[in-house]
Amino acid sequence: MRLPRFAARVSAFLFLFGLFLRVAAAAEPLAELWRERVKSVVAVEFYVELETERRPNITGGLVLDREGTIALGGNAIPNFLPPSQLKDFRVYRPGHPSTDYGQAEYLGYDAVTGWHYIRVDSAFRANLRPITDFVVAGAAAPVVADEVWGVGMRGKDEDFEPTFLSSRVAVLLTLPQRSAIALGRVAAPQLPVFDRTGAFAGVGLAGYGESYFQYSRTERGSPLLLVSGDEARVFRLAPEVLPYLGRVPANVYGRPAAWLGIMGVQAVPPDVAKFLNLQEQSALVVSEVLEGGAAEAAGMKERDIVVAVDGKPLPRLKPPQVAPSWLEREVALRKPGDVLALTVLRGTERIELRPRLQDEPRTLREADRQYFDRLGLTVREFVFVDVVSNRIKLAERTGVIVHYVKPNSPSAAAGLRAEDWIREIDGVEVKTFAEAAAKLIKLENDQARTEFVLLVSRSGETSVLRVKLR
């Protein structure tokens, strides 16, 4: 009899103690939770170096691990910029003197998370805490009306001072990842959001458009849409983020990258879906099937309507415009060589296709390029997107593309424009980037030359341009 009583006492004690711990945990002041969690946040500064200028950029970063990996938002760096133009990454701790920073290297972009990654030098890592430290296993995802809070950040002149933001969840949407829209601002873009207990709840995405009317003494109210660029009302929920934290690119170009080879994927609007007897699901029209791509090899035709992936109908997504990125994600989650089973509607027929994904053809970011200051232009290698945008066959690829024209330079005066396709230099066909670059280097260095002639192609029409060097 004694033993059970003792056991009962102990368990009662343990129960009470546990209760006390829980209460204590819950009672930990938000300010304290916030101070601790600010360590998973950094400010990142870098330059985009262009032909004639350097553009400084500042963005927020999320610390992913103890190896100093930091994720930047997809919007922080335009995807067409080659990594060689991203310079001098510096990492700052919010609220610490901005003279004290760590150097970081650019790691690349991942299509699934939509993030760019950098890695800060080892000396600086000790100051940081990865966001995974605040992941609570089994923590319930926030629901409508739940209180959430997060971290914002001031400017560089204020030492990137962290700010506390909090709000409640107003609505949950699938965009196509599960995301929440809060009543007010909850975090800076790319900075974390937490629930009341301090468990990681998501990552800030962007502001949310709000309509306002602007009045003045002389004008009647005119409608205005305001979106905060500094602080986000929309955040992506933790379960959509956590499984992919390990997707750090193996190289700056994010290779290998799975590629289906289709273009202009458009969501079918609901009334059209109804007309096509596609109820309770999304559907996607494929505008173009690209030459040499996986889709073409599998027999996909332009205007095919994708209705299912791996035998499962597309979920019904709201707004319909998010459906194309749902398919993009399905592709990005796979590897070259994987099969993506698609069910398409062609006329009234349902057709099963099994495209085997390929590695994406050389991209704009990977294209060779060279700047010629005296001539006033940058040319770059002709890559796959140029085949597509010039509407030619793969076999017709030749020449180089004008990437940049320096204002008021000889090239600009000749009427050359970015995206012009150079076919001939001085009446001689240039087939490859190397050929073109060699010719242009000669022209650049030949001080005796007074002019040269280009044959360029611009939206399907050719034009002869004379570039006067003096």
Partner 1 sequence: MGPSTSLKRLRDSASAHSRVPEGGTDSRRPAVQSVRAPGARPSRPPSGRARAGDPRHSAPTLNVGRVTALFCAFAVFFFTPFATAHAKMSAGFNRLLDAVVRIDVREWSIDEGARRYAASIGSGVILSGDGLILTNAHVVSPRAVEINVTLANLERVGATLVGWDHWTDLAVIRIDMEEVRRRGLVFAHARFGDSDDLFPGETVYAVGTPHGLARTVTRGIISNNRRYFEDTTGVRGYETGVFNTWLQTDAAINPGNSGGPLVLENGDVVGINSRAYVGADNLGFAIPASTARRVMADLVKDGKIVRSYIGISPAPLQDLETFYSLKQNTGVLIDNADVGSPAAKAGIRGGDILLAINGERVDGRFPELLPPIQNRIASLPVGTSVRLTIKRGEQQSDYTVVTEKLESRHGEEWVFEKWGLSVQKVSRAYAREHQFPDAAGLLVVGLQPGFSAALSGLAVNDVVTKINQQPIDTLEAAKKAYDAYVEHPGTILVEVNRNRNVTLHVFKP
Give dist(CA 271, CA 279) in Å, integer. Answer: 10
CB of 276 to partner 1, least distance (A): 8
CB of 306 to partner 1, least distance (A): 12
Residues 135-194 that bind partner 1 (CB under 8 A): none
- Three-class DSSP category at 464: strand
CB of 266 to partner 1, least distance (A): 5
**Residue from 168, 303, 316, 362 in contact with partner 1 (CB under 8 A):** 303
Q: How many residues sit in the footprint of partner 1 (CB under 8 A)?
A: 31
464 is a contact residue toward partner 1 (CB under 8 A): yes
State the DSSP code for 318: S
**Residue from 63, 86, 285, 309 in contact with partner 1 (CB under 8 A):** 285
52 is a contact residue toward partner 1 (CB under 8 A): no
CB of 272 to partner 1, least distance (A): 4
**Residue from 391, 417, 431, 442 in contact with partner 1 (CB under 8 A):** 391
Residues 342-361 that bind partner 1 (CB under 8 A): 347
The set of residues, in sequence order, having a beta carbon less than 8 Å from that of 104 and lying 6+ positions away, is 44, 68, 70, 89, 90, 91, 118, 119, 120, 121
463 is a contact residue toward partner 1 (CB under 8 A): yes
Range in contact with partner 1 (rule: CB under 8 A) among 148-156, 207-215, 266-274, 330-338? 266-274
Q: What residue has token string 């024209």? A: 405
**Residue from 52, 214, 445, 459 in contact with partner 1 (CB under 8 A):** 459
**Residue from 85, 174, 228, 266 in contact with partner 1 (CB under 8 A):** 266
Give dist(CA 60, CA 72) in Å, integer. Answer: 7
Environment class of 412 (CB within 10 Å of its CB; exposed 0-12, middle 13-18, buried 19+): middle
**Residue from 272, 322, 339, 385 in contact with partner 1 (CB under 8 A):** 272
Cβ pair 250, 109 in contact under 8 A: no
Closest CA to 265 of 310, 312, 309: 309
291 is a contact residue toward partner 1 (CB under 8 A): no
Environment class of 316 (CB within 10 Å of its CB; exposed 0-12, middle 13-18, buried 19+): middle
CA dihedral 447, 449, 451, 452 (to 10 degrees): -110
Q: Which residues lie near partner 1 (CB under 8 A)?
A: 263-264, 266, 268-269, 271-272, 275-276, 285-288, 302-303, 347, 390-391, 424, 427, 451, 453, 455, 457, 459-464, 466
